[in-house]
Amino acid sequence: MEISKNNNFPLELKDVEPETAELLMKYFTGEHTGFVRVGPKGYFLPHKYKQEASNIYNMEVRPDDIFVDSYPRSGTTWTQELVWLVANDLDYETSNAIPLTERYPFLEFSVFVHPVMKKRFYMENCDSERKLKLLEFVTQPATEQLALMPSPRFIKTHLPLSLLPPKLLDTAKVVYVARDPRDVAVSFYHLNRSMRTQGYVDDFKNYWNFFINDLHHWTPYFEHLKESWEKRHHPNMLFLFYEELSKDLPAAIRRVADFLGKTFTTEQLDKLCDHLSIDNFKNNKSVNYDVMRELGILIPNGQSFIRKGKAGGWRDYFDEEMTNQADKWMAKNLQDTDLRFPHLQA
Ligand code: A3P
């Protein structure tokens, strides 16, 4: 097993044991080399992360950067659009014209595109210059794109704070969004089946076991949340919950507006709520990741990126055994922290 460390990236990068990696690659067919665990918390990422770890950790952060950070499927896209529109004084014209993927480079996406898959996508799109350009753009290391982007920059990431530049919070703003892990798991299961970079091929029950045993990308889930939760009072951190957006979107928008120093009229708020509603989101080409389907990264006729958009849908997927397992797992992970999901409070 290879363990590496270098001067530009202080955390340990430890290869996942070959037998475990082999087994996982049978279920997650988008990965072809293996996986690593990073730092003392052992964050689980594809092998290719090793190439980008230091570039991300040492990237230049600008004071007017805005990062939207989350564990995947926690409402990142929803939050991104909300944050972008608030920060840009409700400029719907630009938000509708420029896809979210261009407005927000996805910091670590390139490490999820294994060279084998990248080659496959190239072959499949080689009849169109435009698609090849698009493919190059979405699979290029985002640190390279960001270095050339004018300010203010908007950045999407699913990395926990400890893998991001250490001065991030003292320099730029971070909006972190968290969601009930049971809904996250159901939603991420669907995405793992439709994204060919992940290529998950088994059922939900097995997936759930990978997820809670930290054998899945960006886990351990609770450590990810706790890192941001601990910084929630930092003036440059805004910590949101998906369930809070779901329950009272105008109040959540007001929190974002306060954080970014903006004020809006009731009419402006109403219009923004309408724009951000799940039905409008599904049909909004600028946010619904159609580009990924066009390039074949999302399977044709598969689950859409914007899916049901409701809180509590996990109940349809969990049998009694899994429900009990989830209760225990959540209680265990919440016992040493004051992190609480607002919708689970009495
Ligand atoms: P579901 O799969 O449970 O529907 P992310 O953007 O982090 O990948 O999160 C995706 C989840 O957020 C999906 O959850 C998606 O449907 C939901 N979502 C996206 N836009 C939404 C909106 N406007 N309103 C409610 N939920 C939304």
Q: ipTM of the assembly? A: 0.99
The domain segmentation of the chain, as residue ranges, is: 61-344
Cα of 306 to ligand 1 centre, how many Å? 5
- The model scores a pTM over 0.80: yes
Query: Which residues are within 8 A (CB) of 11 and not within 5 positions of it... i.e. 6 or more apart?
Result: 5, 38, 39, 40, 53, 162, 163
- Identify the residue whose C-alpha is closest to ligand 1 atom 24: 278
The residue to mutate among 67, 71, 77, 248, having the most atoms of ligand 1 within 8 angstroms of its beta carbon, is 77
Helix, coil or strand: residue 16? coil
Contacts of 9 (CB under 8 A, 6+ apart): 53, 54, 57, 58
The Cα–Cα gap between 200 and 209 comes to 13
Query: Residue 149 carries which DSSP code?
Result: P
| CB contact set of 187 (below 8 Å; sequence gap of 6+) | 73, 307
Each of the 346 residues of the chain gets a pLDDT tens digit; together they read: 666 666 699 999 999 999 999 999 999 999 999 999 999 999 999 999 999 999 999 999 999 999 999 999 999 999 999 999 999 999 999 999 999 999 999 999 999 999 999 999 999 999 999 999 999 998 999 999 999 999 999 999 999 999 999 999 999 999 999 999 999 999 999 999 999 999 999 999 999 999 999 999 999 999 999 999 999 999 999 999 999 999 999 999 999 999 999 999 999 999 999 999 999 999 999 998 888 999 999 998 888 899 999 999 999 999 999 999 999 999 999 999 999 999 998 7
Q: Give the CATH number of domain 61-344; options: 3.10.310.30, 1.10.260.40, 2.30.30.90, 3.40.50.300.
A: 3.40.50.300
From residue 126, alpha-carbon distances to 122, 129, 308 in Å are 6, 7, 33
Closest C-alpha to ligand 1, atom 8: 73
Q: Which atom of ligand 1 is nearest to the CA of 277?
A: 23
